[in-house]
Structure 1
Amino acid sequence: MINFKKGLIPVIVQDSKTDKVLMLGYMNQEAYKKSIDEKKVTFYSRSKKRLWTKGEISKNYLFIKDILVDCDKDTLLIKAKPSGPICHKGSDTCWKEINNKNFLFCLENIISDRIKKKQENSYIYQLLKKGINRISQKLGEEAVELIIESKDNNKNLFLNESADLLFHYLILLKKKGLKIQDVINILENRHLKS
């Protein structure tokens, strides 16, 4: 039985795959019950004074894989599968750690932020305003440029065109209401089936 006598208990969230510590939050009994029922980490926000499910805005949820209670029964360790970056600033953890292979998640958040803020001087916002046809056309142009550079031996130009293609692909995913994690999930499932 977890000891909620003091109201809030600290909760450490750890990546179930890598064991990396992702964040620290607090739960009351109601947040704990909601977490169990929905299998997503829900905290009690001390600043908002309400329950707060991690990912309720960003959709970067923490899916619960296991819950461990410490020996005094007043602290939880939750092992979870993150569906994207944990920190609202785009990093993998709330301690500004970014795994280089996850920079795409950070870039995805930057793209979302520029669109949300409707920054008129932003290339991303301007391209998104032009619609799906223009975004798709731009992605096609970048794909052709990458193919052309792949036939030469200039590594720098090839990598720059690769980055352009990936960047525009992220914009297309955003326009379609999807995320890079959706693509990763398909690739992981294919790998597991092979």
Structure 2
Amino acid sequence: MKLDFEKVNGLIPAIIQDNETNKVLMLGYMNEDALKKTQETGKVTFYSRTKERLWTKGEESGNFLNVVSIKDDCDHDTLLVKVNPVGPVCHTGADTCFEEENKENILFLKYLQQFIEKRYKEMPEGSYTTSLFQSGVNRMAQKVGEEALESVIEACNGTDERLVYEAADMLYHLIVLLTSKGLTIEDLAVELQKRHKK
């Protein structure tokens, strides 16, 4: 990175983003020493304009921001720091300094995909997922069909709560089937993107 600290009087804005949820957590400022300490320790350190000193986020609360990556922008005068936060980020106790909840439930599907892939590689005994893989493609496909039919029944004659329950079962079994074929839900996302017309 060729950062232009002089452009903004020795301080560069650092946008802090959660590596998992992609939520913007806060904005701070770094001088060259703060950036160096951040890179050395792996914990985000800012330059406090009010205290006129370096401060590591979480040094008092324990709510550190563990660095995943640091990138500069096209003008080399702003940083994007992706982190894994430990606890709430804001001094008020909120998840972010913008009073947003730091979670994206849709990202659980990514975790679930990874979990099922791990089951496929390790095949632990006593696992329902393992038993599905061992039952073969035909049985896995049949389970997807059964859960799809149950979802249809709940959509037509059931409750929203039951529809969500059965649709979740269908999606789980579909991910298992895809995994057994060397595919992922991300492959489905790519296909849907291809079909999408703005």
What interval of TM-score do these two structures reach, taking the shorter chain for normalisation?
0.5 to 0.7
Relative to structure 1, the CA distance from residue 13 to residue 187 in structure 2 (aligned partners, 3 Å threshold; closer, same or farther) is: farther
Look up the equivalent residue of 1:101 and give its one-letter code.
I
Cα distance in structure 2, aligned partners of 1:127 and 1:149: 24
Relative to structure 1, the CA distance from residue 129 to residue 101 in structure 2 (aligned partners, 3 Å threshold; closer, same or farther) is: same
Cα distance in structure 2, aligned partners of 1:78 and 1:185: 27
Gapped regions of structure 2 (runs ≥ 5): 4-14, 26-37, 40-67, 87-101
From 117, 120, 130, the counterpart of 1:115: 120
Alignment of 1:29-178 (within 5 A): 68=73, 77=80, 94-95=84-85, 98-178=103-183
Cα distance in structure 2, aligned partners of 1:154 and 1:123: 27
Look up the equivalent residue of 2:186 and give its one-letter code.
Q
Identical residues among aligned pairs (%): 37
Query: TM-score scaled to structure 1, two decimals?
Result: 0.53
Question: Please, what is the CA RMSD of the aligned residues?
Answer: 3.9
Look up the equivalent residue of 2:130 and give its one-letter code.
Y
Q: How many residues align?
A: 132
Query: TM-score scaled to structure 2, two decimals?
Result: 0.52
Q: What whole-Å deviation, never above 9, does each CA across 1:129-153 have from its counterpart, x for those lacking one?
A: 1111111011111111111111213
Cα distance in structure 2, aligned partners of 1:143 and 1:112: 22
Q: What whole-Å deviation, never above 9, does each CA across 1:112-131 have from its counterpart, x for those lacking one?
A: 22222211111101101111
Cα distance in structure 1, aligned partners of 2:156 and 2:127: 32
Structure 1 residue 173, shift from structure 2 partner: 1.2
Cα distance in structure 2, aligned partners of 1:108 and 1:160: 18
Larger Rg, first or second structure (1 or 2): 2
Relative to structure 1, the CA distance from residue 152 to residue 129 in structure 2 (aligned partners, 3 Å threshold; closer, same or farther) is: same
Moved over 4 A (4+): 12-15, 18-21, 75-79
Cα distance in structure 1, aligned partners of 2:85 and 2:159: 37
| 2:120–2:180 Cα contact (<8 Å) kept | no
In structure 2, the residue matched to 1:37 is none
